[in-house]
Amino acid sequence: MVEPLRELAEHLSMALESELFKNDRKLEAAAVSDHSHVLKGASGDHVAKIQQALQLLDSAVIAKAELSSKRYGASTASAVLTFKRRRDIVARPRQSQADDVVGKMTVAVLDEEMKAFELSKQRKSAYICADYYGCAEHDHSKCRRKDKEAQAEIEVSPDGTMSHFGTPRNPLGSGRMVCIGGAWEAEYLGFENFVPDPLQDPDMLHSWVGGRPFTHTLRPQSVSDICFRSTPLDRFMRWEILRICMQGARLTYVSDDPVVRSLMRYFSAIGRVIESGTITEPRANADAPKVSSRYAVTTVLRINPWLDPKLLSRI
């Protein structure tokens, strides 16, 4: 992941592209010059923009005093360090680990992610449904209801019917379509529910199986679409994805913001992240709390990990 980041920083022109960062001379300078890095102790509008980006992209917690004074203090530095560690932003071979400096690579990534974040606010996702009632034509009244103990996992919309929020949109459909840990929420699209076998996956509890078939029954390279919806992606399933997915398969993952961000390195390692962002559940009324989830959509390209020693260390 580091080489593309370095190339991105090296080829970045003076003009940054996100609405938040563009036309800021100090950030533009930091994007191209080692002498213009933003360091602890700095202050000004450019620091305030960095703080805002960290809050929006990483849910960073920054001290109110630093926000009001636009100062790069201890909590801002900590947020920068966390941001860089999560994305493996390290200037190798000169560095062996991330630091709390906002330099060329960091500005490049912040600007790129802010641009994607801004675009996600302007348009609907092409791959993730943000509606309770689904994003494909079907008879919603026939979707399963949470009225039996065996269907206790089903998530419901405000009117008591099944919620399709966070399910895939426009699946490829050229092979098996599977929902890992699913509770029939993507059944209307043709997805089948599967779980890893607890005898093979030490992180999988027998109580979580719920009668669903095991992923080891799926033939290698037979899956064209695979989705996770608030289901943990443990080490076993990281390998299993590469066994069962055909090249070019689409992986959609929806969960809490920190969870998705922690997996971005893995998604980049196994293929190409074609979209990421946030989706917000429709509110039943003005007083209802705002509930958002983060998602990432990946085209799976690396289906033979055992042939790539470098990939082994990143899974």
How many CB atoms within 10 Å of residue 13?
9
Is 11 among the domain residues?
A: yes
Above 80 in pLDDT, residue 190?
A: yes
Q: What is the Cα–Cα distance from 26 to 28, expressed in whole angstroms?
A: 5
Above 70 in pLDDT, residue 22?
A: yes
* Pair 231, 192 in one domain: yes
* Pair 173, 266 in one domain: yes
- Please report where in the chains the tokens 């992180």 appear, as a residue: 203
Q: Which residue has the higher pLDDT, 152 or 254?
A: 254
For residues 104 and 9, the answer to whether their CB atoms sit within 8 Å is: yes
Q: Average pLDDT, whole number, for the chain?
A: 85
Residues 6+ apart with CB under 8 A from 210: 150, 153, 183, 195
Q: What is the Cα–Cα distance from 60 to 37, expressed in whole angstroms?
A: 20
* Pair 298, 188 in one domain: yes
In this structure, of 18-32, 149-163, 202-216, 247-261, the range with the lowest mean pLDDT score is 149-163
CATH of the domain at 207: 3.40.50
* Pair 78, 163 in one domain: no
* Pair 176, 98 in one domain: no
Tens digits of residue pLDDT in 269-306: 888 899 988 888 775 555 556 677 889 999 998 766 55
* Pair 75, 202 in one domain: no
How many CB atoms within 10 Å of residue 8?
17
* Pair 9, 145 in one domain: no
Tens digits of residue pLDDT in 217-236: 999 999 999 999 989 999 99
In the prediction, which pLDDT does 287 show?
59
* Pair 169, 291 in one domain: yes
Which of the four pLDDT bands, split at 50, 70 and 90, describes residue 199?
very high
Which of the four pLDDT bands, split at 50, 70 and 90, describes residue 142?
confident
Instruction: Return the SS3 of 77.
Output: helix
In this structure, of 121-135, 252-266, 297-311, the range with the lowest mean pLDDT score is 297-311
Is 91 among the domain residues?
A: yes
Above 90 in pLDDT, residue 175?
A: yes
In the prediction, which pLDDT does 225 show?
97
Q: Specify the DSSP element, H or E, that contains 276.
A: strand 271-280
Instruction: Return the SS3 of 189.
Output: helix
Provide the number of structural domains found in the chain.
2
Domain boundary among 93, 122, 151: 122
Pull the structure tokens for residue 162.
């099944």
Q: What is the mean pLDDT of residues 61-85?
A: 94
Q: Where does the chain have alpha helices with state H? A: 2-11, 25-30, 45-58, 64-69, 74-87, 104-122, 235-244, 257-270, 309-312
Q: What is the mean pLDDT of residues 98-107?
A: 94
* Pair 182, 94 in one domain: no
In the prediction, which pLDDT does 133 show?
85
Is 131 among the domain residues?
A: no
Is 182 among the domain residues?
A: yes
Is 247 among the domain residues?
A: yes
In the prediction, which pLDDT does 116 show?
79
Percentage, residues of the chain above pLDDT 90: 49
Q: Which residue has the higher pLDDT, 249 or 154?
A: 249
* Ordered strands of the 223-229 beta sheet: 192-194, 176-180, 223-229, 245-255, 292-300, 271-280
In 3D, which of 264, 289, 310 has the Cα closest to residue 113?
264
Q: What is the mean pLDDT of residues 9-19?
A: 66
Q: Specify the DSSP element, H or E, that contains 224.
A: strand 223-229
Domain of residue 56: give its range: 2-122
In the prediction, which pLDDT does 152 show?
56
Q: What secondary structure letter does DSSP report for 216? A: G
In the prediction, which pLDDT does 243 show?
92
* Pair 27, 117 in one domain: yes
* Pair 240, 106 in one domain: no
* Pair 117, 169 in one domain: no
In the prediction, which pLDDT does 12 show?
45
In 3D, which of 222, 243, 216, 235 has the Cα closest to residue 304?
243
Q: What's CA 122's distance to the chain center, in Å?
A: 18
